[in-house]
Amino acid sequence: MRILVLGLGNSLLRDDAVGLVVAEALRDRAGPSVDVIATEESGLSLLDYVVGYDRLLVIDAVKAGSAPGTLHEFDVGDIRWASTANPHATGLPEVLALGSALGSKMPGEVRVLAVEAQEIYEIKEGLTPALAAAAPLAVDRAWEIVQGWIADRQERHP
């Protein structure tokens, strides 16, 4: 089973970079059994990243009205909830559907871990203090999700 952690964001838009920061921190924990990619791309360009994986964890910032730093988790089927609050999530269901329609092997399970952002429109590098404090919690939660998938893989193929 192939697992991909895909961190999305824009390093020039404050808290929008949290997906990139979390993915980079997770890379050291994941080792060779999990692919971790941090990218500033979005939309159809994400198709190239996700093809061929069995499980996909997307990490991104979201503005959904919760306190900054709140972690949100949902399945890709629930992504309509976040699509208006998150510019990267808008095209994810369509990207996955297009890949399937083209006959590409797409992930059978897609989870989204979103961190409630405080500021995603200010042009400035670096996370706000609230997101800098929440990033390690997001790394830990992402790692828990990945470890669950690895354990599942080991149970199926001892």
Exposure string over 62-90, b if 16+ CB within 10 A, otherwise e: bbeeeebbbbbebebeebebbbebbbbbb
What pLDDT is attached to residue 111? Answer: 96
Supply the pTM of this predicted model: 0.89
pLDDT, the chain, mean: 89
pLDDT in tens, 65-109: 999 999 999 988 776 544 444 544 447 888 888 899 999 999 999
CATH number, domain containing residue 89:
3.40.50.1450
pLDDT in tens, 24-50: 999 988 888 899 999 999 888 899 999
> How many domains does the chain contain in total?
1
* Containing structural domain, residue 57: 3-156
Q: CA nearest 14: which of 53, 90, 68?
A: 68
